[in-house]
Amino acid sequence: MTEHEPTVLVRARAGLGRITLNRPRAINALDVDMLRAIGTALEEWRNDPSVDVVLIDGAGDRGFCAGGDVRSLREMILAGHADATGEFFRVEYAVNDLIAEYPKPVVTFGDGVTMGGGIGLAGHASIRIVTERSRLAMPETRIGLTPDVGGSWLLAHAPGRLGEYLALTGAVMDASDAIYAGLADHLVPSENLPALLDALETRADPGTPSELVLLFDETAEPSKLEAARKWIDDAFAADTVAEIVERLRARPEAEASIAADTLAELSPTSLAVTLAAVRAARELPDLRAALAQEYGLVLWFANTQPDLVEGIRAQLVDKDRSPRWQPDTHAGVAAGTAQDALAYVPHVALWA
Protein backbone atom coordinates (compact mmCIF):
# COMPACT_ATOMS: atom_id res chain seq x y z
CA MET A 1 0.00 0.00 0.00
CA THR A 2 1.33 3.43 -0.94
CA GLU A 3 0.65 6.66 0.93
CA HIS A 4 -2.17 7.59 -1.43
CA GLU A 5 -3.89 4.23 -1.84
CA PRO A 6 -7.35 3.88 -0.31
CA THR A 7 -7.64 1.79 2.83
CA VAL A 8 -10.45 -0.21 1.25
CA LEU A 9 -10.33 -1.35 -2.36
CA VAL A 10 -13.74 -1.76 -3.99
CA ARG A 11 -14.25 -3.17 -7.48
CA ALA A 12 -16.67 -5.33 -9.42
CA ARG A 13 -15.87 -7.68 -12.26
CA ALA A 14 -17.78 -10.48 -13.97
CA GLY A 15 -20.51 -10.53 -11.37
CA LEU A 16 -18.13 -10.54 -8.38
CA GLY A 17 -18.04 -7.54 -6.07
CA ARG A 18 -14.73 -7.56 -4.21
CA ILE A 19 -13.91 -5.58 -1.07
CA THR A 20 -10.27 -5.72 0.06
CA LEU A 21 -9.12 -4.25 3.37
CA ASN A 22 -5.96 -2.38 2.47
CA ARG A 23 -3.95 -1.51 5.57
CA PRO A 24 -1.48 -4.41 5.50
CA ARG A 25 1.05 -2.73 7.82
CA ALA A 26 -1.65 -2.62 10.50
CA ILE A 27 -2.94 -6.10 9.58
CA ASN A 28 -5.93 -4.25 8.10
CA ALA A 29 -7.16 -2.86 11.43
CA LEU A 30 -10.48 -1.11 10.93
CA ASP A 31 -11.21 2.57 11.36
CA VAL A 32 -14.58 4.23 10.87
CA ASP A 33 -13.84 5.37 7.32
CA MET A 34 -13.02 1.81 6.28
CA LEU A 35 -16.25 0.58 7.80
CA ARG A 36 -18.23 3.27 5.98
CA ALA A 37 -16.58 2.29 2.70
CA ILE A 38 -17.51 -1.36 3.23
CA GLY A 39 -21.09 -0.45 4.10
CA THR A 40 -21.42 1.85 1.10
CA ALA A 41 -20.19 -0.82 -1.32
CA LEU A 42 -22.55 -3.44 0.10
CA GLU A 43 -25.52 -1.07 -0.11
CA GLU A 44 -24.69 -0.15 -3.70
CA TRP A 45 -24.45 -3.79 -4.74
CA ARG A 46 -27.53 -4.96 -2.85
CA ASN A 47 -29.86 -4.34 -5.81
CA ASP A 48 -27.25 -4.18 -8.56
CA PRO A 49 -28.02 -6.96 -11.08
CA SER A 50 -24.41 -6.92 -12.32
CA VAL A 51 -23.15 -8.18 -8.92
CA ASP A 52 -24.38 -11.52 -7.64
CA VAL A 53 -21.56 -12.58 -5.26
CA VAL A 54 -19.45 -10.51 -2.83
CA LEU A 55 -15.94 -11.37 -1.63
CA ILE A 56 -14.30 -9.68 1.36
CA ASP A 57 -10.56 -10.27 1.82
CA GLY A 58 -7.49 -8.52 3.19
CA ALA A 59 -4.28 -7.18 1.65
CA GLY A 60 -0.88 -8.50 2.70
CA ASP A 61 0.24 -11.88 3.97
CA ARG A 62 -0.10 -11.28 7.73
CA GLY A 63 -3.83 -11.52 8.08
CA PHE A 64 -7.36 -10.65 7.06
CA CYS A 65 -8.03 -8.16 9.87
CA ALA A 66 -6.51 -7.72 13.33
CA GLY A 67 -9.61 -5.95 14.65
CA GLY A 68 -10.70 -2.39 15.26
CA ASP A 69 -8.30 0.48 15.65
CA VAL A 70 -8.49 0.51 19.45
CA ARG A 71 -5.64 2.99 19.83
CA SER A 72 -7.91 5.57 18.24
CA LEU A 73 -10.72 4.40 20.50
CA ARG A 74 -8.54 5.08 23.54
CA GLU A 75 -7.68 8.56 22.24
CA MET A 76 -11.37 9.36 21.74
CA ILE A 77 -12.22 8.22 25.26
CA LEU A 78 -9.37 10.20 26.82
CA ALA A 79 -10.45 13.27 24.85
CA GLY A 80 -13.99 12.90 26.13
CA HIS A 81 -15.48 12.36 22.68
CA ALA A 82 -18.24 9.98 23.73
CA ASP A 83 -20.32 10.75 20.63
CA ALA A 84 -17.46 9.76 18.34
CA THR A 85 -16.98 6.57 20.34
CA GLY A 86 -20.61 5.62 19.91
CA GLU A 87 -20.56 6.50 16.22
CA PHE A 88 -17.70 4.09 15.55
CA PHE A 89 -19.60 1.20 17.06
CA ARG A 90 -22.86 2.13 15.35
CA VAL A 91 -21.16 2.10 11.95
CA GLU A 92 -19.30 -1.13 12.69
CA TYR A 93 -22.31 -3.02 13.98
CA ALA A 94 -24.45 -1.87 11.07
CA VAL A 95 -21.88 -3.43 8.72
CA ASN A 96 -21.85 -6.65 10.76
CA ASP A 97 -25.64 -6.84 10.54
CA LEU A 98 -25.62 -6.00 6.84
CA ILE A 99 -23.23 -8.86 6.08
CA ALA A 100 -25.32 -11.30 8.11
CA GLU A 101 -28.58 -10.34 6.38
CA TYR A 102 -27.19 -9.71 2.89
CA PRO A 103 -29.45 -11.02 0.10
CA LYS A 104 -26.51 -12.22 -2.00
CA PRO A 105 -23.78 -14.72 -1.04
CA VAL A 106 -20.92 -13.10 0.88
CA VAL A 107 -17.63 -15.02 0.83
CA THR A 108 -14.83 -14.12 3.24
CA PHE A 109 -11.18 -15.16 3.20
CA GLY A 110 -10.21 -15.26 6.89
CA ASP A 111 -6.58 -15.96 6.01
CA GLY A 112 -3.98 -15.29 8.72
CA VAL A 113 -4.85 -13.09 11.70
CA THR A 114 -8.63 -12.69 11.98
CA MET A 115 -9.53 -11.22 15.34
CA GLY A 116 -12.01 -8.90 17.02
CA GLY A 117 -13.47 -6.66 14.33
CA GLY A 118 -12.16 -9.12 11.76
CA ILE A 119 -14.51 -11.73 13.20
CA GLY A 120 -17.29 -9.17 12.84
CA LEU A 121 -16.68 -9.12 9.08
CA ALA A 122 -15.77 -12.75 8.49
CA GLY A 123 -17.89 -14.52 11.08
CA HIS A 124 -21.31 -13.43 9.83
CA ALA A 125 -20.77 -14.13 6.12
CA SER A 126 -22.64 -16.88 4.31
CA ILE A 127 -19.44 -18.66 3.19
CA ARG A 128 -16.59 -18.33 5.70
CA ILE A 129 -13.22 -19.60 4.52
CA VAL A 130 -10.15 -20.15 6.69
CA THR A 131 -6.69 -21.43 5.79
CA GLU A 132 -3.80 -23.25 7.43
CA ARG A 133 -2.47 -19.81 8.38
CA SER A 134 -5.66 -18.62 10.07
CA ARG A 135 -5.56 -17.47 13.68
CA LEU A 136 -8.96 -16.45 14.98
CA ALA A 137 -9.84 -14.98 18.37
CA MET A 138 -12.07 -12.61 20.28
CA PRO A 139 -9.34 -11.16 22.56
CA GLU A 140 -11.26 -8.21 24.00
CA THR A 141 -10.85 -9.24 27.65
CA ARG A 142 -7.12 -8.72 27.18
CA ILE A 143 -7.74 -4.97 26.87
CA GLY A 144 -10.41 -4.77 29.57
CA LEU A 145 -13.37 -4.95 27.19
CA THR A 146 -15.89 -7.64 26.22
CA PRO A 147 -16.39 -9.49 22.89
CA ASP A 148 -18.51 -7.46 20.50
CA VAL A 149 -19.17 -7.23 16.71
CA GLY A 150 -21.63 -10.08 17.23
CA GLY A 151 -18.91 -12.18 18.84
CA SER A 152 -21.03 -12.87 21.89
CA TRP A 153 -23.74 -14.28 19.59
CA LEU A 154 -21.30 -16.53 17.71
CA LEU A 155 -19.61 -17.76 20.89
CA ALA A 156 -22.90 -18.29 22.70
CA HIS A 157 -23.81 -20.86 20.04
CA ALA A 158 -20.49 -22.73 20.07
CA PRO A 159 -20.63 -26.33 21.36
CA GLY A 160 -20.82 -26.85 25.11
CA ARG A 161 -19.04 -24.20 27.14
CA LEU A 162 -16.56 -23.25 24.43
CA GLY A 163 -18.24 -19.86 24.21
CA GLU A 164 -17.38 -19.00 27.79
CA TYR A 165 -13.86 -20.37 27.40
CA LEU A 166 -13.09 -18.49 24.17
CA ALA A 167 -14.72 -15.26 25.33
CA LEU A 168 -13.05 -15.15 28.73
CA THR A 169 -9.55 -16.30 27.79
CA GLY A 170 -9.36 -14.84 24.29
CA ALA A 171 -7.81 -18.13 23.18
CA VAL A 172 -6.60 -18.32 19.59
CA MET A 173 -8.22 -20.84 17.25
CA ASP A 174 -6.69 -22.45 14.20
CA ALA A 175 -8.80 -23.42 11.19
CA SER A 176 -9.95 -26.73 12.68
CA ASP A 177 -10.96 -25.07 15.94
CA ALA A 178 -12.81 -22.25 14.16
CA ILE A 179 -14.81 -24.69 12.06
CA TYR A 180 -15.66 -26.81 15.09
CA ALA A 181 -16.67 -23.77 17.14
CA GLY A 182 -18.93 -22.53 14.35
CA LEU A 183 -16.96 -19.44 13.33
CA ALA A 184 -15.91 -20.78 9.92
CA ASP A 185 -17.17 -23.19 7.28
CA HIS A 186 -14.36 -24.35 4.98
CA LEU A 187 -10.61 -24.93 5.13
CA VAL A 188 -8.97 -23.88 1.86
CA PRO A 189 -5.15 -23.98 1.64
CA SER A 190 -3.80 -20.45 1.22
CA GLU A 191 -2.08 -21.45 -2.00
CA ASN A 192 -5.51 -22.23 -3.48
CA LEU A 193 -7.08 -18.84 -2.71
CA PRO A 194 -5.98 -17.23 -6.02
CA ALA A 195 -7.52 -20.12 -7.96
CA LEU A 196 -10.73 -19.87 -5.92
CA LEU A 197 -10.85 -16.13 -6.58
CA ASP A 198 -10.45 -16.80 -10.30
CA ALA A 199 -13.23 -19.41 -10.17
CA LEU A 200 -15.55 -16.95 -8.42
CA GLU A 201 -14.87 -14.42 -11.16
CA THR A 202 -15.12 -16.79 -14.13
CA ARG A 203 -18.01 -18.87 -12.72
CA ALA A 204 -16.58 -22.16 -13.89
CA ASP A 205 -18.98 -25.09 -13.48
CA PRO A 206 -20.28 -25.82 -10.90
CA GLY A 207 -21.47 -22.27 -10.66
CA THR A 208 -22.66 -21.43 -7.14
CA PRO A 209 -20.11 -20.08 -4.65
CA SER A 210 -20.70 -22.97 -2.25
CA GLU A 211 -20.11 -25.51 -4.99
CA LEU A 212 -16.99 -23.70 -6.16
CA VAL A 213 -15.49 -23.69 -2.68
CA LEU A 214 -15.90 -27.46 -2.47
CA LEU A 215 -13.51 -27.79 -5.41
CA PHE A 216 -10.72 -26.25 -3.32
CA ASP A 217 -11.40 -27.10 0.31
CA GLU A 218 -9.74 -29.79 2.40
CA THR A 219 -10.91 -31.79 5.40
CA ALA A 220 -9.73 -30.09 8.57
CA GLU A 221 -7.68 -31.96 11.15
CA PRO A 222 -9.45 -32.91 14.41
CA SER A 223 -10.05 -29.85 16.55
CA LYS A 224 -8.00 -29.41 19.71
CA LEU A 225 -10.99 -27.65 21.21
CA GLU A 226 -13.15 -30.70 20.68
CA ALA A 227 -10.55 -32.84 22.44
CA ALA A 228 -10.51 -30.40 25.37
CA ARG A 229 -14.27 -30.29 25.82
CA LYS A 230 -14.23 -32.40 29.00
CA TRP A 231 -12.28 -29.94 31.13
CA ILE A 232 -13.61 -26.86 29.37
CA ASP A 233 -17.26 -27.86 29.82
CA ASP A 234 -16.67 -28.79 33.45
CA ALA A 235 -14.84 -25.64 34.49
CA PHE A 236 -16.65 -23.03 32.42
CA ALA A 237 -20.10 -24.18 33.51
CA ALA A 238 -19.45 -22.65 36.95
CA ASP A 239 -21.57 -19.71 38.02
CA THR A 240 -18.80 -17.15 38.56
CA VAL A 241 -15.33 -16.41 37.26
CA ALA A 242 -13.84 -17.18 40.67
CA GLU A 243 -15.51 -20.60 40.62
CA ILE A 244 -14.29 -21.21 37.07
CA VAL A 245 -10.72 -20.52 38.19
CA GLU A 246 -11.17 -22.80 41.19
CA ARG A 247 -12.38 -25.64 38.98
CA LEU A 248 -9.54 -25.08 36.52
CA ARG A 249 -6.98 -25.29 39.33
CA ALA A 250 -8.51 -28.59 40.42
CA ARG A 251 -8.23 -30.18 36.96
CA PRO A 252 -5.26 -32.45 36.13
CA GLU A 253 -4.88 -31.15 32.55
CA ALA A 254 -1.99 -28.78 31.91
CA GLU A 255 -4.19 -26.75 29.55
CA ALA A 256 -6.64 -26.10 32.38
CA SER A 257 -3.86 -24.69 34.55
CA ILE A 258 -2.75 -22.44 31.67
CA ALA A 259 -6.30 -21.17 31.27
CA ALA A 260 -6.46 -20.37 34.99
CA ASP A 261 -3.19 -18.46 34.75
CA THR A 262 -4.56 -16.50 31.80
CA LEU A 263 -7.70 -15.51 33.68
CA ALA A 264 -5.57 -14.36 36.61
CA GLU A 265 -3.92 -11.77 34.33
CA LEU A 266 -7.10 -10.24 32.93
CA SER A 267 -9.47 -7.54 34.13
CA PRO A 268 -11.79 -8.99 36.78
CA THR A 269 -14.53 -6.55 35.75
CA SER A 270 -14.18 -7.46 32.08
CA LEU A 271 -14.34 -11.17 32.89
CA ALA A 272 -17.44 -10.86 35.09
CA VAL A 273 -19.30 -8.86 32.45
CA THR A 274 -18.17 -11.12 29.61
CA LEU A 275 -19.36 -14.26 31.37
CA ALA A 276 -22.79 -12.70 31.88
CA ALA A 277 -22.88 -11.35 28.31
CA VAL A 278 -22.25 -14.69 26.61
CA ARG A 279 -24.88 -16.38 28.75
CA ALA A 280 -27.37 -13.58 28.11
CA ALA A 281 -26.71 -13.81 24.36
CA ARG A 282 -27.85 -17.45 24.40
CA GLU A 283 -31.31 -16.22 25.32
CA LEU A 284 -31.52 -13.52 22.65
CA PRO A 285 -33.58 -14.07 19.48
CA ASP A 286 -31.06 -13.01 16.84
CA LEU A 287 -27.78 -11.34 15.97
CA ARG A 288 -29.29 -7.86 15.88
CA ALA A 289 -30.43 -8.22 19.49
CA ALA A 290 -26.94 -9.39 20.45
CA LEU A 291 -25.37 -6.39 18.71
CA ALA A 292 -27.71 -4.09 20.60
CA GLN A 293 -26.67 -5.73 23.86
CA GLU A 294 -22.99 -5.41 22.95
CA TYR A 295 -23.44 -1.75 22.03
CA GLY A 296 -24.66 -0.99 25.53
CA LEU A 297 -21.82 -2.99 27.04
CA VAL A 298 -18.99 -1.38 25.08
CA LEU A 299 -20.31 2.10 25.88
CA TRP A 300 -20.64 1.12 29.54
CA PHE A 301 -16.95 0.22 29.49
CA ALA A 302 -15.98 3.34 27.52
CA ASN A 303 -17.95 5.74 29.70
CA THR A 304 -17.63 4.22 33.17
CA GLN A 305 -14.67 1.86 33.43
CA PRO A 306 -10.96 2.77 33.62
CA ASP A 307 -9.91 -0.76 32.68
CA LEU A 308 -10.53 -0.24 28.94
CA VAL A 309 -8.17 2.71 28.58
CA GLU A 310 -5.65 0.99 30.85
CA GLY A 311 -5.84 -2.30 28.97
CA ILE A 312 -5.24 -0.64 25.59
CA ARG A 313 -2.33 1.29 27.10
CA ALA A 314 -0.68 -1.83 28.51
CA GLN A 315 -1.20 -4.03 25.44
CA LEU A 316 -0.89 -1.67 22.50
CA VAL A 317 0.49 1.73 23.51
CA ASP A 318 3.24 1.32 26.11
CA LYS A 319 3.26 -2.46 25.53
CA ASP A 320 4.50 -3.17 29.05
CA ARG A 321 1.88 -5.94 29.42
CA SER A 322 1.38 -4.83 33.03
CA PRO A 323 -2.11 -3.37 33.30
CA ARG A 324 -3.27 -1.99 36.62
CA TRP A 325 -6.85 -3.19 36.81
CA GLN A 326 -9.43 -1.47 39.04
CA PRO A 327 -10.37 -3.60 40.93
CA ASP A 328 -7.58 -6.12 40.54
CA THR A 329 -9.29 -9.15 42.16
CA HIS A 330 -12.49 -11.05 41.48
CA ALA A 331 -13.57 -10.45 45.06
CA GLY A 332 -13.25 -6.74 44.45
CA VAL A 333 -15.88 -6.69 41.70
CA ALA A 334 -19.04 -5.34 43.28
CA ALA A 335 -22.08 -7.56 43.32
CA GLY A 336 -24.42 -6.65 40.50
CA THR A 337 -21.70 -5.17 38.28
CA ALA A 338 -22.50 -7.42 35.33
CA GLN A 339 -26.21 -6.73 35.69
CA ASP A 340 -25.54 -2.99 35.76
CA ALA A 341 -23.49 -3.30 32.58
CA LEU A 342 -26.20 -5.28 30.79
CA ALA A 343 -28.79 -2.70 31.84
CA TYR A 344 -26.77 0.28 30.61
CA VAL A 345 -28.75 2.49 28.22
CA PRO A 346 -26.63 4.42 25.67
CA HIS A 347 -27.47 8.05 24.98
CA VAL A 348 -28.07 7.17 21.31
CA ALA A 349 -29.71 3.87 20.38
CA LEU A 350 -27.82 1.53 18.07
CA TRP A 351 -30.63 1.29 15.53
CA ALA A 352 -31.67 4.96 15.78
**Residue 163 vs residues 121, 151, 181: alpha-carbon distances, Å:** 19, 9, 8
327 φ, ψ to 5°? Answer: -75, 170
Just list the catalytic residues: 68, 117, 140, 148
Least confident of 4-8, 30-34, 253-257: 4-8
**pLDDT given for residue 69 in this prediction:** 87
Residue 245: strand pairing partners? none
Residue 352 lies in a domain: no
For residue 346, what are the CA distances in angstroms to 30, 93, 228? 23, 15, 38
Residues 153 and 297: their CA atoms lie apart, in Å, by 14
Q: What share of the chain is helix, strand, coil (3-state, %, to 5)?
A: 50, 10, 35
Containing structural domain, residue 78: 8-342
pLDDT of residue 347: 87
Total structural domains within the chain: 1
- Note the pLDDT tens digit of each residue in 232-250: 999 999 999 999 999 999 9
Is 28 within a domain? yes
Q: With contact defined as beta carbons under 8 Å apart, do 106 and 316 qualify?
A: no
- Which residues neighbour 54 within 8 Å (Cβ) at sequence distance 6 or greater? 16, 17, 18, 19, 42, 45, 102, 104, 105, 106, 107
Tens digit of pLDDT for each residue in 285-318?
999 999 999 999 999 999 999 999 999 999 999 9
pLDDT at 46 over 90: yes
Chain center to CA of 65:
10
Task: Using DSSP bridges, classify how beta strands 16-21 and 8-13 pair: parallel, antiparallel or unpaired.
Answer: antiparallel
Q: How many Cα atoms occupy the beta-carbon half-sphere of 59 within 13 Å? A: 19
Cα atoms in the Cβ-side hemisphere of radius 13 Å centred on 108: 25
More confident residue, 178 or 3: 178
Establish if 203 belongs to a structural domain: yes
> Does residue 330 lie within any of the structural domains?
yes
Instruction: Tell me whether residue 195 is in a domain.
Output: yes
Q: Compute the distance between CA of residue 324 and CA of residue 172 in angstroms, rounded to an integer.
A: 24
Higher model confidence: residue 184 or residue 208? 184
Given a cut of 60, whether residue 1 has pLDDT beyond it is: no
What values do phi and psi take at 147, rounded to 5? -55, 135
Specify if 39 maps to a domain.
yes
User: Residue 137's beta-bridge partner residues?
Assistant: 115
Residue 246, C-beta contacts closer than 8 angstroms, at least 6 positions apart: 238
Rg of the chain on CA atoms, in Å: 20
Tell me: the pLDDT tens digits for 74-92?
999 999 887 778 999 999 9
Q: Is residue 338 part of a domain?
A: yes
The order of strands in the sheet holding 186-187 is 8-13, 16-21, 53-58, 106-110, 127-130, 186-187
**Domain assignment of residue 348, yes or no:** no
Rounded to 5 degrees, what angle do the CA atoms 144, 304, 117 make? 45
3-state secondary structure 244-284: HHHHHHHCCCHHHHHHHHHHHHCCHHHHHHHHHHHHHHCCC
Distance of CA 57 to the CA centre of its chain: 15
Neighbours of 160 (CB within 10 A): 18
CATH number of the domain residue 328 falls in:
3.90.226.10
- Using one digit for the tens of pLDDT, what is the confidence trace for 104-113? 999 999 999 9
> What single-letter amino acid sits at 230?
K
Rounded to two decimals, the pTM is: 0.96
